[in-house]
A and B are shown apart, each in its own frame.
Chain A
Amino acid sequence: MSKRWFASLFVMVLTLGSATAQSGTELRFCLWSEPKTFNPLLVQDDSSETVRYLTGGVLVRLNRQTQQLEPELATAWKTSRDGRTITFALRQNVKFSDGTAFSAEDVAHTIQQMMDPNLHSPTGDSFRSGEGKVETKVLWADKIAILFPAPIAGLDKLFDQVAIMSAKSPKKERAVLGPYYVAEYKAGSHLNLERNPNYWKHDSSGHQLPYIDSVRLDIQQNRDIEILRLLRGEIHLVNSLNAEYFDKVIAEKPALVHDAGPSMDSEQIWFNQVASAPLPAYKKAWFGSTNFRRAISESINREDLSRVVFRGHARPATGPVSPGNQFWFNTRLQPHPFDQKAAMKRLEQDGFRVQNGALRDKDGNAVEFSVVTNAGNRYRERMATMIQQDLAGIGIKLHVVTLDFPSLIERIARTFNYEACLLGAVNIGLDPSEQMNIWLSSAENHQWNPGQKAPETAWEAEIDRLMRAQASELNEKKRKEYFDRVQEIAWEQEPFIYLVNRNALSAISTSVQNAHPVVLRPQVFWNIDRLSLGSEVAQK
């Protein structure tokens, strides 16, 4: 009897012990800046995006690992044949974090808010397909149809970014449907996210998700401190590492780091081709020449950039789509090879020649130009220096100018007082429609020559046609054909000289379980509701 009693007591103590260990689990990591907004429709910066991802409930979610859409608050969805209407069947008996019931009214409210032209929601702008109003039709409490004025290709995928807000809750955007809600925010210091008690998702054994009770996001601008804290075990993960920190962590704790391969982000250089730019006419002629751009491209050793600047954690880039984008990457294309002899041949076709070690154009002007990049970005500064050395090999003198970000943007987007620019592109979505504002010649982000009234070159006109065609085509195979051709034209004409695709590098404490870092953002915590913490819990 007493033996059994002791055994029961022992089991009870063990159970209590394990329960205590499991309860109160807190995942810690850092935001690099303060979130600018908690309104999911106004999210633009990375920190607000992180908070939205951790707290927002969406109708469909793009699985960051398989790159396929999965049902979330919508159990099923259907896009009409004309691509203008999408109908969602919604999950029943779902509640917001404050207990308010979720229904089709909330979806309608969110869409109406998002498409309000006065809000200027970046999320909403992705859905703007043409003139006219977006309409919502609540069919039942759990079914809604959304009608757009013009077809939108890849429409369902865009809903991955739309966090549904409550139409009725007094807490407004603070009432959420995601795994966590914002429980505390101390400006400049930290955010505490607590587990959403009404989160609808359960694991296969019926256990309510998420497994981790709370997430503490420390606002930490200094990356050195962030890495120190990771190495000391004070935080659990760093979602995105640069190559230098990656090597630093690997030297001390190799089990922590992960290289998921080429990310969606690219580094590129482009020449100013704006007709009204305050540049000498002969320079405008160089920058407008395909031969000139191709020659510059072939004179840059991308392998060296990857190896030296990014310490092997980058790949030579091919074009606007990274090989990490499994469906849309054009596999027929290869990065431009480093071949300065071929580059010289192209230049000779345009009348350039080398005299006393300096390249001169047909009118005798020495070929020299400046490249602007943002100050403080060590990788871009190093890349610019290496490109400077590469171009010296064909007699071109390159001047590197570093500017702080506002000054840089003023030059490249307002005054056009620059010759070439080296910057990076961050691609959040996979779908080519999200690059419309880059490739359309009339767009403001058509960096080399923005806001054209009519396409100034035949190849830009062709890109315009193809981008519009893919945006209104619902057949994925045909869309892929169109966008493959866009990638080919970009490869041939090189308005952007793509240099490298940085790898998606991250670091995760060994105490975090179920973590599978991927190339899509958020690389580490994309499956936040499935992550759990083991015995090695971070200490403050």
Chain B
Amino acid sequence: MAKHVAIILVTVLLGGLLGATLIRFAPGYGVDEQELDARLSAGSIEALRRASAPDENLFLFYGHYLKRMVHGDLGTSRTLQRPIAQLLRERLPDTMKSVGLGALLGWALGLALAIPVAMSRAWLVDALASVMAGILLCIPVAVLALLFVLTRAPARLVIALIVFPKVFRYARNLLVRSAALPHVLTARAKGLSHAGVFVWHVLPLAGAQLLALAGVSVSLAFGASIPVEVVCDLPGIGQLAWKAALGRDLYLLINLTMMVAVVTLAANSASDLLGGAFGRSEA
């Protein structure tokens, strides 16, 4: 557990530094589009430039940023001119709702199709689900989101359709392989029901790997939330990240990078720990 926490901490800190470096050296950093406002006097343009100019070296900046963060000050967004803590408080619930709902539905649909395929060799379900998963894998997230907008479907479901094909394909292959093992076939030959075989013989074998996939699917859902929120105009973290990147909003981007890193690493670590516990209890 302590090892996982240490890894998360180091990765988040390095991720934040890497994010800061990329933004700081990106073309257009430290430039404000308000500079083109013809109403502004030379003094105001100069003040704008001073305000957005990088005034210290990157490592010093990052050190100061971390010091302030420890005291609860996440800084102010340059593009939105609001405290970042407030922006995150307002937008995080929306994204968590989208990501949570999307991941849950994606898993439910993926497992609901993968289990019958593996246990009862339902070839028609297998063929249909595989085709559906294949199509969904081929469609870019933004296009899928746009289709939902045009059809007035709930945009949050897009994330479910991004998670579903990966869960289905992985779970299907894993369960089919587990179901084909000799001891499972023996149990089946002895007349154990499908449900019994699944619960007592297949799931224990596949459980740890499925839990590992759960961690990955959180990152997947988070990644998908950016185009979905941008295309569907959902006021969440994904939309904020997009705006921050376009506006070279250094503070906002560092905070978002670190936050997303914490969530995804925590999800992966949780699935690792649970998977490990699952494996040990089986042994």
Contacts and interface: CB of A to CB of B under 8 A. Distances in A.
A, B co-complexed = yes
Interface of A: 34, 36-37, 44, 117, 120, 122-123, 125-126, 128, 186-189, 219-222, 224-225, 228, 403-410, 413-414, 425, 428, 434-435, 437-438, 442-445
A224 B149 contact: yes
A438 B38 contact: yes
24 contacts: A117-B43, A122-B37, A122-B44, A126-B39, A186-B235, A187-B86, A188-B239, A220-B233, A221-B239, A222-B230, A224-B146, A225-B232, A228-B150, A403-B27, A403-B28, A404-B246, A405-B246, A406-B33, A406-B248, A408-B28, A428-B39, A434-B38, A437-B40, A444-B45
B91 A187 contact: yes
A442 B32 CA distance: 20
Contacts of A126: 39
B231 interface: yes
Given A36-B80, A219-B235, A444-B35, A225 B149 contact: yes
Nearest to B242: A221
Contacts of B35: 409, 413, 444
Contact of B231 (A34, A123, A222): A222
B31 interface: yes
A410 B39 contact: no
B87 interface: yes
Contacts of B236: 188
Nearest to B35: A413
User: What are the 7 A-B residue pairs with the smallest beta carbon separation, nearest first?
Assistant: A188-B235, A406-B28, A407-B28, A120-B44, A407-B27, A125-B41, A187-B90
A438 B29 CA distance: 24
A403 B248 CA distance: 14
B247 interface: yes
Contact of A120 (B31, B48, B247): B48
A44 B230 contact: no
Contacts of B81: 36-37
B79 to A, nearest CB: 8
Most buried by A among B33, B41, B247: B41
A407 B38 CA distance: 19
A406 B235 contact: no
A371 B28 CA distance: 18
Contacts of B247: 406
Contact of A414 (B31, B34, B43): B31
Most buried by B among A34, A224, A406: A406
Interface in B119-176: 146, 149-150
B41 A437 contact: yes
Contacts of A117: 43
A409 B30 CA distance: 10
B36 interface: yes
A435 to B, nearest CB: 6
B14 interface: no
Nearest to A222: B233
Contact of A122 (B28, B39, B82, B230): B39
A183 B129 CA distance: 49
